[in-house]
Amino acid sequence: MPINLYDLSQDDLTDLLTQWGQPRFRAKQVWAWLYEKPVSTFEAMTDLPTPLRDRLRAEVTLGALSIADERISKDGTVKRLYELHDGQLIESVLMPYDDHRRTACISTQAGCAMGCTFCATGQMGFARHLTAAEIVEQAVRFAQVLHADGDRLSNIVLMGMGEPFHNYDASLEAIRRLMTDLGIGARHITISTVGLVPQIRQFADEGIQVKLAISLHAATDEERGKLLPVNKRYPLVDLIDACRYYIEKAGRRVTFEWALIAGKNDTPEQADALGGLLQGLLAHVNLIPLNPTSGYDGRPSDPEAAKRFIAILESYGVPATVRVRRGIDIDAGCGQLKAAVLRKQRGTTVSVDDIP
């Protein structure tokens, strides 16, 4: 199997090219084309001699992800479904914002073992962990697209398919590479977890300024356990205690993700419970109108319910905002495009209810 250049450190790349009889500065040139001015073909590495480009093309690969599907939303969001070397499928999303942020949402696993009932990825189960290189390459691919347009990738969120803290070592290695190799600042990277308490504490001890987001979605153990099975192992009292530890160690606030589900967790009672749970904590609540899936019958809350919810949280001193929904017309929610493609491959019909 050919060497994937994204598997190599800069020292590894230097060793490879010196073994080929190339001067050391050639490795720096190749590295720049990989990460500093990222390109998607060896032909685009214009300051390399033709024989070297020919050998690179013959003996190594520029990545290991193959685009299986791509959809572009009317709001500019780009969603890609990638096929991995073993046939597994993962998703990545590029979201452009009016304030010039360019955010990549990337996956850390093929599937997910957490089983969250309203999530398309959770409904399909777990296949395998991604390697650090497979995680990093998703961001690099979007950096290539933006670089070709004279733009740059500014933010990365590990909120795609999978639970990053279930794949802790590879996720942390990928984060460090995104910072050092791709040049994304720690404060422009967010890692999201359903609440794996030991890993939250371990992450706090890492001493890096990457943002932490917690998928909360309910403010009582009874209700959260129905939506997120992990709550039965790590109940809210343990989760909030771990979040306090992170805040003390990192000096950063925690973002709590809350998928607003009409009539279920958007009620005044749930808002009061959430306000009481987070009161006094350095935190922010990110309210996300639910992206419906075929495996869950919930529907997104209406704007008035969201406003009432925010007002109640504010009475507890807990700030909250509603996240702008992106790519609704292209199955941009986590796992939705893969689920749609798999249904098509099986010959099943995608109903109107499957499309948010």
pLDDT tens digits for range 212-246? 999 999 999 999 999 999 999 999 999 999 999 99
User: Is residue 334 annotated as part of the catalytic site, yes or no?
Assistant: yes
The answer to whether position 2 is within a domain reads: no
CA-CA distances (angstroms) from residue 91 to 65, 77, 170, 335? 11, 13, 17, 7
pLDDT at residue 341 greater than cutoff 90 = no
Distance of alpha carbon 114 from the chain centroid: 15
> In this structure, which amino acid lies at residue 356?
P
Last residue of a domain, one of 180, 207, 229: 180
User: Is residue 91 annotated as part of the catalytic site, yes or no?
Assistant: yes
Q: 245 and 210 in one domain?
A: yes
pLDDT at residue 355 greater than cutoff 70 = no
Distance of alpha carbon 314 from the chain centroid: 28
pLDDT at 352: 24
Q: 306 and 224 in one domain?
A: yes
Catalytic residue, chosen from 116, 119, 243, 334, is 334
The answer to whether position 3 is within a domain reads: no
CATH of the domain at 158: 3.20.20.70
The answer to whether position 338 is within a domain reads: no
Nearest to 16 by CA among 45, 51, 49, 55: 55
Query: For tokens 């009061």, what's the residue?
Result: 272
- pTM equals 0.89
Q: What would the mean pLDDT of 127-145 be, rounded to a whole number?
A: 98
Angle at the Cα of 287 (from 281 to 288), degrees rounded to 5? 145
Residues 176-221: tens digit of each pLDDT = 999 999 999 999 999 999 999 999 999 999 999 999 999 999 999 9
Q: Report which secondary-structure segment, H or E, holds 67.
A: strand 66-72
Q: 139 and 19 in one domain?
A: no
pLDDT at 295: 67
> In this structure, which amino acid lies at residue 157?
V
Q: What would the mean pLDDT of 60-75 be, rounded to a whole number?
A: 95
Q: For the chain, how many structural domains are there in total?
A: 3
Lowest-confidence region among 31-45, 143-157, 298-312: 298-312
Q: 198 and 308 in one domain?
A: yes
Q: Regarding beta strands 89-96 and 102-105, do their DSSP bridges make them parallel or antiparallel, or are they unpaired? A: antiparallel
Last residue of a domain, one of 148, 180, 212: 180
DSSP state at residue 60: E
CATH of the domain at 34: 1.10.150.530
Q: 292 and 225 in one domain?
A: yes
The answer to whether position 50 is within a domain reads: yes
Catalytic residue, chosen from 91, 134, 163, 257, is 91
| C-alpha span between 331 and 76 (Å, rounded) | 13
The answer to whether position 334 is within a domain reads: no
pLDDT at residue 324 greater than cutoff 80 = no
Q: 221 and 116 in one domain?
A: no
Q: 319 and 198 in one domain?
A: yes
- Could you tell me which residues are beta bridge partners of residue 157? 105, 190
Q: 48 and 25 in one domain?
A: yes
| C-alpha span between 189 and 175 (Å, rounded) | 8
Residue 34's domain comprises 8-61
Which parts of 73-204 are beta strand (E)?
Answer: 78-83, 89-96, 102-105, 109-111, 126-129, 155-158, 189-193
Q: 275 and 254 in one domain?
A: yes
Q: What would the mean pLDDT of 252-262 be, rounded to a whole number?
A: 94
| C-alpha span between 54 and 215 (Å, rounded) | 47
